[in-house]
Chains A and B, each alone.
Chain A
């Protein structure tokens, strides 16, 4: 019984920081986003129509995109060198920051 409780506590201790890392910290993300703003703008809406709006996008989709740019699975001459040096935490924080901004929506029928 004690062992079970200990196991649960241990599991919670181990898993909580992982969950936090996966969620990302929008405030840290904002600090890390200075390079991004050159094209995606201070408001995450893109400085020209060729650059995607990031504001309000789903965080998990943004994180996937950055990881694909980082691995080269998604090929893009501009984004590859930007995403290359990012850690998983950086990606989670940036994704959380852009997801927290007002912007994109899901159009319904």
Chain B
């Protein structure tokens, strides 16, 4: 009984988890289109935030899971920034993953 059940459970897990894994990775090509607004600030060398004044962070080559976590925190307001909150609040989880995949793929 165990011999049959364990492989079956493993197969079921792989089948169920595979699409989730693919989705979690995001699509960099779709992400490029969704990142158009982001590039208005993050795509300009040495672009600065004002009040307070500091460089907007570089996102090219950033880890994708971190980008999704940051966007989620901006969206909920856990991480404070009025412009980023307004942007992130319009994004779905899939949008965030696609955008993250795009920036992550921008290696030097």
- Chain A positions within 8 Å of B, measured between CB atoms, are 45-46, 48-53, 56-58, 60-61, 63-64, 68, 73-75, 102-109
Which residue of B46, B59, B65, B107 is within 8 Å of A49 (Cβ)? B65
Q: Tell me whether A50 and B66 are in contact (CB under 8 A).
A: yes
Question: Would you mind naming 30 contact pairs between A and B with Cβ atoms under 8 Å apart?
Answer: A48-B65, A49-B64, A50-B63, A50-B66, A50-B69, A52-B62, A52-B63, A52-B66, A53-B62, A53-B63, A53-B66, A56-B58, A56-B61, A57-B57, A58-B54, A61-B56, A61-B57, A64-B52, A74-B79, A75-B79, A102-B108, A104-B57, A104-B59, A105-B58, A105-B60, A106-B46, A107-B42, A107-B103, A108-B39, A109-B39
Q: Tell me whether B79 and A61 are in contact (CB under 8 A).
A: no
Total count of chain B residues near the partner, CB < 8 A: 30
Cα–Cα, bound, A80→B28 (Å): 32
- Chain B positions within 8 Å of A, measured between CB atoms, are 39, 42-46, 52-66, 69-70, 78-80, 103, 106-108
Which residues does chain A contribute within 8 Å of B42, judged by CB atoms? 106-107
Interface of B is mostly: loop
Q: Tell me whether B55 and A61 are in contact (CB under 8 A).
A: yes
Chain B residue with the shortest CB-CB distance to A60: B54
Total A-B contacts with CB atoms under 8 angstroms apart: 84
- A104-B61 contact, Cβ under 8 Å, with A46-B66, A52-B66, A74-B80: yes
- A108-B63 contact, Cβ under 8 Å, with A58-B57, A58-B58, A64-B52: no
- A104-B79 contact, Cβ under 8 Å, with A50-B66, A61-B54: no
Chain A residue with the shortest CB-CB distance to B40: A109
Cα–Cα, bound, A109→B36 (Å): 9
Which residue of B43, B52, B55 is within 8 Å of A107 (Cβ)? B43
Shortest distance between the CB of B76 and any CB in chain A (Å): 11
- A104-B69 contact, Cβ under 8 Å, with A60-B54, A74-B79: no
Shortest distance between the CB of B97 and any CB in chain A (Å): 12
Cα–Cα, bound, A12→B36 (Å): 44
